[in-house]
Structure 1
Amino acid sequence: MKQVVSICGVTLISALLLSACQTNDPVASGTKSDTSSLTQSSESDSSAMNVSSESDSSEKGTVAEESQSIEYTYQVNPAIFTIEPMNEADNKKVALLTFDDAPDKHAVEIAKKLKSIDAPAVFFINGMYIESDEGKEMLKEIYDMGFEIGNHSQTHANLSAISPEEQREEIVKTNELIYETIGIKPRFFRAPFGVNTDTSAEIIEQENMVFMNWTYGYDWEAEYQNPQALTDVMLHTEYLNEGANLLMHDRSWTNEAVVGIAEGLREKGYTLIDPALILSPEREESTK
């Protein structure tokens, strides 16, 4: 049987998780690496503005009003990270698309392809990729297309191998960079390699975020680093079940496969869940 990454059970296989985010994309550089524009909006500056900035403020206000009316109808199962309806009557056959290591090389193009077929997703951000002006512009472009933005740490460090102070820096600095760039703080956190700690749990609680690992993913394995093989395994794995939380990455082969994966899930009867509907703690002010 082919070896896969899955945490659909309560237990985790540490060695596989530590490998899950390591790929050798000859096109992409760097190491491995959440809030939807529908759900969060920064407060507009009330100081003197020109006509253009007043228009921007009006648009942001509209989004903020809409976000207040959104009712959370799904939640992340904290034990196995499936996406589950909060009401038994709601659709259970859903799948969530997620992409780590953004925005390195291919995230914007992946987002454009998903947008063209109206497929929602979460893009998990490494802070190191948005320290440059180019990275900030890529993040803005993804966010402006309406995608949920998540936190995937600053440098993609294994949190269990660094100090509590360093863990805080990894998480909080990325939150701050994301807020500075798009005016929101992420609602979801995904730890590098899926490795969470007691310290990271405390920080996530303080930051009013939700842990979101995954249920399966394959694009980090050499065997699936081509679009045909990746599409096939993502659609036919035994781990594709109700509430599947699909792990993918900012990689060239994933970019080529993403439309086939999304459309294939729909053909199988899965609804691609809008992350805006997934429960997260309410925060006081996005600037805190």
Structure 2
Amino acid sequence: MKKDQLFTRRRALLAGAAAVGAAGTAGLLLTGSPEDTPARSAAPAAGPRARQPALKPSAYRLRPLAGNAGTPLATPGRTPVRHEPFLRMSGRGRTMVLTFDDGPDPRYTPHILDTLAEYDVRATFFVCGEMADWNRDLLSRMADEGHVVGNHTWSHPLLTRMTRSGIRSEMERTSDVIENAYGERPRWFRAPYGAWNRAAFQLGAEMGMEPLAWTVDTDDWETPGTRSIVRTVEDGAAPGVVVLSHDAGGDRTQSVRALRAYLPHLLDSGYHLTLPRRQYT
């Protein structure tokens, strides 16, 4: 699909996004509003690993939706069909999970990877297939550096407005790209905007993926200011927390700078930044 067609389609989704809260699946909650006025800043210079051409797919970002869920346990040997996504990870100690959605983007993802590497921290990247297809080298780097890559659909659509076959295509195409570039098929899935439905849970389970939402939303997609993002993460830090940030879908300079600020603070506070893991009875 051509770039201008992608942009037109996403503008149409944006116009109808306000109706999702009423028409979406049961149990979805709108996220809160940001506290600060957006701060404008120049994008960081591209890192030495960002060798891909300029971003091809059009930028996108709708207001996310967050699922209200618990944390059921899985059965060994198969992926169960959930009715709600994981919001947090269970386990002992002061552990947290950092996640980044919508990438990879050669303008911002390399800087996030550089910061994670500097502090020897692993994170989870929920990638969109159309972005991953243009930036396969970044998925290879994620594999080399021990990060987890999850499925965030091909083109970031609102799944609650799609047919089952359409959802399957979005998920399967993305898993294929991830397998080719990362080295294995994804084990985790995150619905765009947090808008889950029965088909997404069923298809994800069929493809061997667990659904993961989040506990703390940085609202960085609204560019609320670097300090606002840092404050949200530090105030929300707690054992088992899953943090949602973005490395694509718009100007993510603030997200890059915020990670540089809050990551050493979390580590100094005794938190261990870990990867999501399947939990079995």
- Name the TM-score, length of structure 2 as normaliser: 0.68
1:247 aligns to what? 244
Given that 1:215 and 1:245 are in contact with CA atoms closer than 8 Å, whether structure 2 keeps it comes out as yes
Structure-2 separation of matches of 1:264 and 1:226: 18
Structure-2 separation of matches of 1:80 and 1:24: 32
Structure-2 separation of matches of 1:155 and 1:217: 21
Report Cα offsets for 1:57-114 as digits up to 9, x if no partner: xxxxxxxxxxxxxxxxxxx9x66511102xxxx32x2110000011023112201111
SS in structure 1 at match of 2:120: coil
Report Cα offsets for 1:194-225 as digits up to 9, x if no partner: 11111111111111111001011123354x53
SS in structure 2 at match of 1:201: helix
Q: Are 2:56 and 1:30 equivalent residues in the alignment?
A: no
1:84-95, aligned counterparts within 5 Å?
84-85=90-91, 90-91=92-93, 93-95=94-96
1:103 aligns to what? 104
2:87 aligns to what? 81
1:118 aligns to what? 120
1:205 aligns to what? 205
One-letter code aligned to 2:88: T
One-letter code aligned to 2:163: S
Structure 1: gaps of 5 or more residues: 1-9, 34-75, 282-288
Structure-1 separation of matches of 2:102 and 2:85: 23
Report Cα offsets for 1:19-77 as digits up to 9, x if no partner: 9xxx99985861249xxxxxxxxxxxxxxxxxxxxxxxxxxxxxxxxxxxxxxxxxx9x
Q: Are 2:155 and 1:149 equivalent residues in the alignment?
A: no
Aligned in 2, Cα 1:184/1:154: closer, same or farther, shift over 3 Å?
A: same
Given that 1:120 and 1:274 are in contact with CA atoms closer than 8 Å, whether structure 2 keeps it comes out as yes
Q: Displacement, 1:117? A: 0.3
Q: Displacement, 1:172? A: 0.9
Structure-2 separation of matches of 1:184 and 1:128: 18
One-letter code aligned to 1:117: Y
1:193 aligns to what? 193
1:151-170, aligned counterparts within 5 Å?
151-170=151-170
SS in structure 2 at match of 1:102: coil
Aligned in 2, Cα 1:194/1:220: closer, same or farther, shift over 3 Å?
A: same
Report Cα offsets for 1:153-182 as digits up to 9, x if no partner: 100001001111111111111001111222
Q: Displacement, 1:232? A: 1.8
SS in structure 2 at match of 1:84: coil
Report % sequence identity: 24
One-letter code aligned to 2:31: L
Q: Displacement, 1:119? A: 1.2
Structure-2 separation of matches of 1:221 and 1:98: 14
- Name the TM-score, length of structure 1 as normaliser: 0.66
Structure-2 separation of matches of 1:235 and 1:24: 19
Q: Displacement, 1:267? A: 2.7
Structure 2: gaps of 5 or more residues: 1-25, 44-54, 63-81
One-letter code aligned to 1:257: A
One-letter code aligned to 1:30: A
Given that 2:143 and 2:183 are in contact with CA atoms closer than 8 Å, whether structure 1 keeps it comes out as no
Q: CA RMSD in A?
A: 3.0
Post-superposition, which runs of at least 4 consecutive aligned residues in structure 1 deviate over 4 A?
23-29
Aligned mate of 1:12, from 28, 34, 38 = 28
Given that 1:114 and 1:120 are in contact with CA atoms closer than 8 Å, whether structure 2 keeps it comes out as yes
Structure-1 separation of matches of 2:268 and 2:194: 29
2:233 aligns to what? 234
Given that 2:85 and 2:213 are in contact with CA atoms closer than 8 Å, whether structure 1 keeps it comes out as no
1:135-146, aligned counterparts within 5 Å?
135-146=135-146
SS in structure 2 at match of 1:114: helix
Equivalenced residues, count: 213
Structure-2 separation of matches of 1:170 and 1:24: 34
Q: Displacement, 1:142? A: 2.3
